Amino acid sequence: MVGIAVNNSRDNVAMLGIGAYRPQRVVSNDDVCAVLDSTDQWIFERTGIRNRRWISGDETLRSIAAAAGERALVNSGVDRTKIGTLILATSSWLTLTPHGAPSVAFDLGINGIPAFDLTSGCGGFGYALGVAADLIRAGSADYVLVIGAETMTVGLDPTDRGTAMIFGDGAGAVVVGPSESNGISPTVWGSDGENAAAIMQDIDFLEYMHRAQEMQGLDPAEHPVGRMSLRMEGPRVFRWAAVTLPRALSAALEMSGVAKEDIDVFVPHQANARINELMKKNLGLADDIPMANDIENTGNTSAASIPLAMEEMLVTGKAKGGQLALLLGFGAGLSYAGQVVTLPPKPNEPSF
Ligand code: COA
């Protein structure tokens, strides 16, 4: 019988370098409240956010994704010709066709490689990291560039009290590749479509086209088509998170074989500082274990939040390369993904 060849597989993979891009424009809570019916105090007390970055000028999702990817490549020291796949984790690329990753690969001078988008809401980076690690383990690629990038502002209704003060724009990236010892645990991931409507785009493409057709010939000032905006039932997500995420964190620890006491750093998705403090306490992580709090000045950047938060901790010295970190992303879907990892080295080219 004719045999079909398989790739050579390997076991040990790790994040070899990290890079990020933070948009130029800093937007404070007071700036948001110029339009939103809220206050700086309410926003900080309920979410832990003081500032976020919003794109401006010629910054786009494509440009910030490429900027973060470029820094990750430089910081990793990996020759870009060795990158075998690019995964762009995003929910805010503006067209379904074409998707974003091939254009970003072109911008990075690695045109031609397998490049695809991965959409899994705020859990997107964890999903992409898991896929990247498994591609390398299976021998489908030697090195993978994972970029989490979002311009959440394009779908933000600045008057919506459920979302306007929360989301920000940004991009973070890691180069994943073979390593001597293993630096990425098996991924613990899952989804809950029963609660899909808890975070959703309010109108889909067909509904938008339908409305636009109905409005044709009418005065747009009096009959606006409206725009697609993100809506979130915050308390419903909070309740789901309270049940689902502690289980996911315990499973991630168990599958990694790393004891809770050996975790050096906790990097949860930056959705709400209060949720994160609760998760850390309930998991029983020691008080002095550093926890990412990039949300304070970056807001919730969805699939970009975990690499941005890791980068901030490494640049400021709150965490060190090689330390053991517990990661957990969660959000739209609803979905979640987490791993225990060793942190990549402190970036030589930081984002701030
Ligand atoms: N500014 C001021 N007041 C606001 C407000 C705002 N932006 N949004 C709501 N309120 C008011 C409400 O009207 C309500 O007032 P009432 O008590 O007089 O009726 C009160 O604040 C509480 O509203 P609630 O919606 O229960 O707020 P909350 O404490 O749940 O906080 C979130 C809202 C969004 C911050 C919070 O629910 C959250 O972070 N949820 C999880 C989000 C998440 O994890 N997402 C996943 C990743 S994207």
Q: How confident is the model at residue 204 (pLDDT cuts 50, 70, 90)?
A: confident
Name the pLDDT band for 181 (thresholds 50, 70, 90). very high
Residues 6+ apart with CB under 8 A from 85: 113, 114, 115, 116, 132, 135, 140, 141, 144, 145
Residue 206: which pLDDT band, with cuts at 50, 70 and 90?
confident
Quick check: 223 pLDDT over 80? no
User: How far does the centroid of ligand 1 lie from the alpha carbon of residue 268, in Å?
Assistant: 20
The pLDDT, as a whole number, for residue 231 is: 94
More confident residue, 219 or 83: 83
Is 191 a residue whose pLDDT tops 80? yes
pLDDT tens for 269-307 read: 999 999 999 999 999 999 999 999 999 999 999 999 999
Burial 113-140 (b: 16+ CB within 10 A, else e): bbbebbbbbbbbbbbbbbbbbebbbeee
Quick one: pLDDT at residue 182? 97
**Pocket of ligand 1 contains residue 195 by CB under 6 Å:** no
What is the predicted pLDDT for the residue at 176? 98
Q: Quick one: pLDDT at residue 215?
A: 81
Reply yes or no on whether the pLDDT at 221 is more than 80.
no
Closest CA to 245 of 327, 165, 343: 327
What is the DSSP code (8-state) at residue 85? E
Residue 238 in contact with ligand 1 by CB distance below 6 A: yes
pLDDT in tens, 41-83: 999 999 999 999 999 999 999 999 999 999 999 999 999 999 9
Nearest-CA neighbor of 92 among 167, 23, 160, 24? 167
Burial class (CB in 10 A: 0-12, 13-18, 19+), 98: exposed
Which two three-digit tokens encode residue 7?
A: 């790739």
Residue nearest to atom 37 of ligand 1 (CA): 234
237 lines ligand 1 (CB under 6 A): yes
Q: Picking from 5-9, 237-241, 336-340, which range would have the lowest pLDDT averaged per residue?
A: 5-9
For 131-168, the pLDDT digits (tens) are: 999 999 999 999 999 999 999 999 899 999 999 999 99
**Residue 216 per-residue DSSP state:** T
Instruction: Considering only residues 215 and 98, tell me which one the structure prediction assigns the higher pLDDT.
Output: 98
**Helix spans in 49-123 (H):** 61-76, 101-107
Q: Which of 238, 276, 301 to mutate to test the pocket of ligand 1 (most atoms within 8 A of CB)?
A: 238
**pLDDT band for position 220 (cuts 50, 70, 90):** confident
Judge contact between 329 and 275, C-beta under 8 A: no
DSSP H helical ranges for 201-321: 205-215, 234-256, 273-283, 295-298, 305-316
Residue 322 confidence class, pLDDT cut points 50, 70, 90 = very high
